[in-house]
Structure 1
Amino acid sequence: MHAKAASRLLHHYREHARALPWRAPPGSGRQEPYRVWLSEVMLQQTTVATVTPRFLRFIERWPTIETLAAAPDEQILAEWAGLGYYARARNLIACARAIVARGGFPSSEAELRKLPGLGAYTAAAIAAIAFGEDAVPVDTNVERVVARVFGLADRTEVRAAAGAWWPVGDAGDFAQACMDLGATVCRPKAPACPYCPLRADCRAAALGTPELFPAPKARKVRPHRFGLAWWARRDDEVWLTRRPATGLLGGMAALPGPEWSDERPAANPLAVHRHGFTHFTLDLLVVRVAEPIGDGWWQPLADLADAGLPTLYRRAIEAALHAERERRLAA
C-alpha cells in the first residue's frame, strides 16, 4: 500500500514540482552539488521566498565552490546579511574551504557529515539529491508528511517510518516530492487534503484531524535581554565596527557596544529596537556618544545597504534616524 502511495507521490511531483533555481527538473537524476549544498544551507529556518533572490545573487557573484572558498570572509558575511542565523554563514565559509581543500564534494552521507556545519538532514539531502544515494533527509515538511501518512503523533517515530517508506533509487526526487507536498498541500494549518495525492492512504486524513499530526512541540519561554549600541554621527556618516569572529552575529558589521546582559542598563537612549532571536528576545538601546568608540569605520548613511548589517543593527539604525528626524521636527 505504501509503495503505491510513494509511486503516486512521485508522479504528482513530476507533474507539479516547484521550479526553483537550485533544482533540476524531476527525473533528471543527480544535480549540481554546489547548488544543492548552498540552497540547503540557506533554507535552514528560512523561507523559499526569502532565499530565492539571495541564492541567485550568491550564484552570480560566486558561481563555483572554488570562487566562494576564495572570497574574503567580510564579503560573504555582507552578502549573507539579512538572512539571519549567522552561524550558518560562518559554517558556509569553513565548509566551502574544506571542500576545496579535499578536491571536491564527498558523495556519501557519511563523508558529508564530516564537513563543517553539515548536520544529519543537510548531509542526507545532498547525498540523495546531488549524488543519488539512498539517503533519507527529514526536514520539517518531510516530517509532517510522513507523520500524517502513517498517523504518527510521536515525532521520534517518523525517521524509522520514512526510512521504511523511501523508494530505492529515487531518494532525491522522493525527498523533494515530500518537501513540495509539505510546503504547498500538506501545510501545518488548513492542509489542502482534497488535492493531496496521498489522501487515500493518509491515516491522519482518515481520522479527520490532520493538523494534530505530528503532535506540536512544547513552546519554551524565551528570556529577555538588553544591549547598548553606541551612536556616533559625523555629518551623513555613522560609526560602525565589526563584531568578534565567534559568537552570535560573529564577524558581522554592527554598531559598537558592550556585551548584552539580563539587566536593563541605566541609559537615556535615543531609540530602542526590540528584536527576537531563536532563544531570547533583546532590547537594543541606541545611545548617543560624542566620539566613535573602538576600531571601526565611518559608513555613509547613503551606502548603509553595502555595509552588510544584520537585521538587528539595520533596524536599530533606522530607529535612531527616525528618532533624530522626530526631534528635529519637534524643535
Structure 2
Amino acid sequence: MLIPPPRKANQLLLDWYTAAGRDLPWRRTRDPWKIMVSEIMLQQTRVAAVIPYYQRFLERYPEPKDLAQAPEQEFLAIWSGLGYYSRARNLQRAAIQITEAGGFPETYEEIRTLPGVGDYTAAAIASICFSLPYAVLDGNVMRVISRMTLEKGDISNSSVRVRLKEHAQRLLDPKRPADFNQAIMELGATVCLPRSPQCLLCPWREMCQARAAGVQGELPIKLKKRDPVKLAMELFLVEKNGSILLRQRGTTESKLAGFWELPVARDMPAAERGECLGSFKHSITHHDYTIEVYRASAAKAPKGFRWFQMEELENVPVATMTRKALALV
C-alpha cells in the first residue's frame, strides 16, 4: 500500500479543485462559526439538502451568542426536516461554551472539546479556519485513500482507519491544508463515487493503485450492514375548523424529544377511523416503515395534544414523518 509522492499528488489535486470545485455557500467564508454549522449539518446529510437549512439557520443565528440564548423549540423548528436532531442540541451547547469563553477556540485540541465535535469536524474547522495542518477523514476521504493505496482492510476496523488517516496526513499540503482537505472531500463526493467511479475525470487516475488493478469498484471494503427491520404504522389526521391535532413527544424521550407529530392509533383508542389518504415509506436508522395515513375523528383532544393551524407549523419542531404525511393532504 504505497502512496504517491505528496508534492505531485498535491499539485494535481489542487489544480483539479481550482477548476472543478463546486461553489458552495460555506466555501465563501473562513468564519469558524459558519464553518462549524456547515460541518455539523453535513454529517450524514446530502449537500443539496443542507444548503437551504444552512442559509436559514445562519440568517437567524449569525453568531454563537444568538443560538446560545435561543429557545429550544425555536431552533428545532428551523432544523425540522433535516433529521438527527441531537446535532442541533449539541450545536447550541457548543454555542453556549463558545460564548462563555469569549470567542471561538483556535487550536485543534480546544475545538475538539466542543459538544458534538469529533476528530473529523475538529480537523475541518482547524484547517479551513486557522490553516492548521490536520487532515480530515470522512467517508469520502476514506474511499479515495482506500482506492489510491489499494487498502483491502475493512474500513469499519479502527486500525484500518488509523492507517488511512496516516496516509491522508502524509498527503496533506501543510501550506494549504484548507484547500487540500476540501479538495479531497470534493474528489470523493463528485468523482471517486461509491458506485461507478468517474476515473477518467480523476486527477489521481495515473497513480491510483485500485484502478491499476482494476478493482476500484470493489473498494473500500466494508462489512455488509444488517438488513433493516420492516414495520407498518398508521397515522391519524384529525381536523377541526381548519386545525389539525398533534401530539408532543415528552422531553425525556430518546428520539425527537419535544417534537410534534400526528397521533398513531394507540394514542387515540376512541377515535373513529375514516378514509385512507395514502401511504409512504420512511426510514429511521435500521428500520424501514410503511406508513398509512387515515382521516379520523375524535370527540375531544387527549391530554398532551394540541390543535394547530397549518401556518403555525413553521414555528414549531415537527417530525419529518408527520411532514410527509401532511404532504398527502
Scaled by the length of structure 2, what TM-score is found?
A: 0.85
Name structure 2 gaps, 5 residues minimum.
none
Q: Does structure 2 retain, via aligned residues, the 8 Å contact 1:150–1:203?
A: yes
More strand by share: 2
Q: Which moved more, 1:273-282 or 1:80-89?
A: 273-282
Match of 2:189 in 1: 183
The answer to whether residue 220 in structure 2 is matched with residue 211 in structure 1 is: no
Match of 1:118 in 2: 117
Distance 1:274 1:114, change over 3 A: same
- Secondary structure of 1:92 counterpart: helix
- Listed as ranges, the matches of 1:304-323 within 5 Å are 304-319=313-328, 321=329
> Offset of 1:93 from its aligned partner?
1.9
Match of 2:19 in 1: 15
Query: What is the one-letter code of the residue matched to 2:206?
Result: A
- Listed as ranges, the matches of 1:180-259 within 5 Å are 180-225=186-231, 229=235, 231-245=237-251, 246-256=253-263
Q: Does structure 2 retain, via aligned residues, the 8 Å contact 1:150–1:204?
A: yes
- Listed as ranges, the matches of 1:1-331 within 5 Å are 1-3=4-6, 4-24=8-28, 31-154=30-153, 155=155, 156=160, 157-225=163-231, 229=235, 231-245=237-251, 246-256=253-263, 271=276, 273-283=280-290, 288-290=296-298, 291-319=300-328, 321=329
CA RMSD of aligned residues (A): 2.5
Query: What is the one-letter code of the residue matched to 1:21?
Result: P
Distance 1:176 1:277, change over 3 A: same
> Offset of 1:138 from its aligned partner?
0.7
Count of residue pairs the alignment pairs up? 309
Deviations 1:100-143 (A, max 9, x none): 12222212222222221112211221111112111121111111
Name structure 1 gaps, 5 residues minimum.
26-30, 261-266, 322-331
Q: Does structure 2 retain, via aligned residues, the 8 Å contact 1:232–1:292?
A: no
- Secondary structure of 2:282 counterpart: strand
- Secondary structure of 2:19 counterpart: helix
Q: Does structure 1 retain, via aligned residues, the 8 Å contact 2:273–2:297?
A: no
Distance 1:107 1:10, change over 3 A: same
Alpha-carbon distance in structure 2 between the residues aligned to 1:142 and 1:5: 14
> Offset of 1:281 from its aligned partner?
2.6
- Secondary structure of 1:312 counterpart: helix
Alpha-carbon distance in structure 1 between the residues aligned to 2:229 and 2:117: 28
Alpha-carbon distance in structure 1 between the residues aligned to 2:189 and 2:274: 42
Q: Does structure 2 retain, via aligned residues, the 8 Å contact 1:225–1:282?
A: yes
Query: What is the one-letter code of the residue matched to 1:242?
Result: Q
> Offset of 1:77 from its aligned partner?
0.5
> Offset of 1:250 from its aligned partner?
2.0
> Offset of 1:32 from its aligned partner?
0.8
Deviations 1:1-38 (A, max 9, x none): 4211122212222233221111138xxxxx11011100
Distance 1:33 1:135, change over 3 A: same
Query: What is the one-letter code of the residue matched to 2:319?
Result: P
Q: Which moved more, 1:222-231 or 1:50-59?
A: 222-231
Query: What is the one-letter code of the residue matched to 2:283?
Result: G
> Offset of 1:276 from its aligned partner?
0.7
> Offset of 1:259 from its aligned partner?
9.0
- Secondary structure of 1:232 counterpart: strand
Q: Does structure 1 retain, via aligned residues, the 8 Å contact 2:74–2:316?
A: no
Alpha-carbon distance in structure 2 between the residues aligned to 1:119 and 1:146: 20
Give me the identity figure in percent.
36
Query: What is the one-letter code of the residue matched to 1:301?
Result: M
Distance 1:42 1:151, change over 3 A: same
Distance 1:108 1:270, change over 3 A: farther
> Offset of 1:62 from its aligned partner?
1.7
Alpha-carbon distance in structure 2 between the residues aligned to 1:310 and 1:293: 19
